[in-house]
A and B are shown apart, each in its own frame.
Chain A
Amino acid sequence: MASTRHVPFRLLKAGRHALRTRQYSSARVSDDCDIVIVGGGPAGLALASALGSSAASNRLRIVLVEGGDLSKVHGWSLDSDVYSNRVSSLTNASQSFLRDIGAWSHVEESRTCPMEDMEVWDGVSDARISFHASDVPTTGSTEGQQMARLTENLNLQRGLLRHLKTHPEIELIDKTKVESIIRDEEEGQWPLVKLANDRILRTRLLIGADGFNSPVRSYARIPSYGWSYNTQAIVATMFHSPPSLYQNSLHTTAYQRFLPTGPIAFLPLSPTASSLVWSINPPELAQALVASASQNPSVLASMINAAFRLPTVSLKYLYDVVMDARTKGVAIDGEAITKEIRWREESHGIDGNSTYASSSTQLSQGMPSLDAASLPPLVTSIQPGTVASFPLKYNHAETYLGEGLGARTVLVGDAAHTVHPLAGQGLNQGLADVECLSKCIAEAVANGGDVGSYTALLPYAQERYIANHTIMSAVDKLHKLYSTEFEPVVWARSVGLEVLNELDVVKSAIMATAGAHSSKTTNSADAAAGINNGWSVVAKGFESYASTVKAARMASQGAVGLIGGGLEGIGRIITNLSK
Chain B
Amino acid sequence: MQSILRNYIRRHATAATRQNSSVNASEISFFSKLSSQWWDEHGEFAFLHRMNPIRMQFIHEKVREMDWEDGATSEEKISRRSALDGLKVLDIGCGGGLLSESLARQGARTLGIDASEANIAIATLHSQADPNFRVSSASPSPSNLSYRQISAESLLAESGPEQYDVVCSMEVLEHVDNPADFLNSCAQLVKPGGHLFLSTIARTPLAYFLTIFTAETLLRKVTPGTHTYSKFVNPGELVEYFQNYPTSLTSKATTTEAEVRGMIYAPLRAKWHLASRTASLWGGDLVNGCNYLFWVRKPNVSPSQ
- Chain A: residues with CB nearer than 8 A to chain B? 1-3, 5-6, 18-20, 22, 32, 58-59, 184, 187-188, 190, 202, 204, 403, 443-444, 446-450, 453-456, 458-459, 462, 523, 525
Contacts and interface: CB of A to CB of B under 8 A. Distances in A.
Interface stretch (B26-34, B124-132, B185-193, B222-230): B124-132
The list of the 8 closest CB pairs from A to B, nearest first, reads: A188-B129, A2-B144, A448-B102, A3-B141, A448-B105, A447-B56, A187-B129, A448-B106
Nearest to A456: B53
A1 B144 contact: yes
A2 B145 contact: yes
B139 A19 contact: yes
Nearest to B131: A32
B50 to A, nearest CB: 6
A20 B138 CA distance: 9
A449 B132 contact: no
A336 B132 CA distance: 72
Contacts of A444: 53
B244 interface: no
Interface in B250-288: 268-271
Contacts of A459: 269, 271
A2 B138 CA distance: 13
Contacts of B42: 403, 454
A378 B53 CA distance: 58
B102 A454 contact: no
A37 B143 CA distance: 27
Nearest to B108: A448
B142 A455 contact: no
Contacts of B52: 447, 449, 455
Given A59-B81, A447-B60, A455-B53, 13 more contacts: A2-B141, A5-B85, A18-B138, A19-B136, A20-B131, A22-B138, A448-B103, A448-B104, A448-B105, A450-B101, A453-B41, A454-B42, A456-B53
A187 B128 contact: yes
21 contacts: A1-B105, A2-B144, A3-B140, A3-B141, A3-B142, A5-B144, A18-B138, A58-B81, A184-B129, A202-B131, A204-B130, A204-B131, A403-B42, A443-B53, A447-B57, A448-B84, A449-B52, A449-B105, A453-B41, A454-B49, A458-B271
Contacts of A449: 52-53, 56, 102, 105
Given A5-B86, A58-B81, A190-B129, A447 B144 contact: no
Nearest to B129: A188
A534 B107 CA distance: 44
A403 B49 CA distance: 15
Contacts of A184: 129
Nearest to A190: B129
A2 B128 contact: no
Interface in B13-45: 41-42
A19 B107 CA distance: 18
A458 B102 CA distance: 18
B146 to A, nearest CB: 10
A572 B111 CA distance: 68
Contacts of B107: 1, 5
A450 B130 contact: yes
A191 to B, nearest CB: 12
A458 B270 contact: yes
A180 B270 CA distance: 34
Nearest to A453: B41
A392 B271 CA distance: 37
Interface string B170-209: 0000000000000000000000000000000000000000
Nearest to A3: B141
Contacts of B56: 447-449
Interface residues of B, number: 42
Contacts of B41: 453-455
A455 B138 contact: no
Contacts, number: 90
Nearest to A443: B53
Contacts of B136: 19, 22
Nearest to B140: A3
A453 B269 contact: no
A202 to B, nearest CB: 8
Contacts of B53: 443-444, 447, 449, 455-456
Contacts of B130: 188, 204, 450
Nearest to A18: B138
A448 B144 contact: no
B81 to A, nearest CB: 7
B25 to A, nearest CB: 31
Contacts of B85: 5
A455 B131 contact: no
Contacts of B133: 1-2
B272 to A, nearest CB: 10
Contacts of B82: 448
A243 B131 CA distance: 61
A19 B101 contact: no
A523 B269 contact: yes
A1 B131 CA distance: 8
Nearest to A61: B131
A446 B102 CA distance: 10
A444 B128 CA distance: 20
A523 B266 CA distance: 11
Given A19-B136, A32-B131, A448-B103, A453 B49 contact: yes
A160 B106 CA distance: 30
A284 to B, nearest CB: 48
Q: B60, B82, B86, B131 — which one has the most chain A CB atoms within 10 A of its CB?
A: B131
A18 B137 CA distance: 12
Nearest to A188: B129
A2 to B, nearest CB: 3
Q: Which of A1, A204, A443, A448 has the most CB of B within 10 A?
A: A448
A2 B100 CA distance: 14
A32 to B, nearest CB: 4
A447 B56 CA distance: 6
Nearest to A525: B268
A183 B143 CA distance: 25
A447 B49 contact: no
Contacts of A20: 131
B88 to A, nearest CB: 13
Contacts of B50: 455
A51 B52 CA distance: 23
A226 B143 CA distance: 47
A455 B49 contact: yes
Given A2-B144, A5-B107, A58-B81, A447 B102 contact: yes
A103 B129 CA distance: 35
B171 to A, nearest CB: 16
A512 B101 CA distance: 40
Contacts of B270: 458, 462
A446 B128 CA distance: 22
Contacts of B129: 184, 187-188, 190
Nearest to A55: B81
Contacts of B106: 448
Contacts of A2: 104, 109, 133, 141-145
B33 to A, nearest CB: 22
A202 B102 CA distance: 21
A5 B50 CA distance: 27
Interface in B40-91: 41-42, 49-50, 52-53, 56-57, 60, 81-82, 84-86
A526 B143 CA distance: 43
A8 to B, nearest CB: 10
A35 to B, nearest CB: 13
A478 B142 CA distance: 61
Nearest to B105: A448
B101 A448 contact: yes
A520 to B, nearest CB: 10
A494 to B, nearest CB: 39
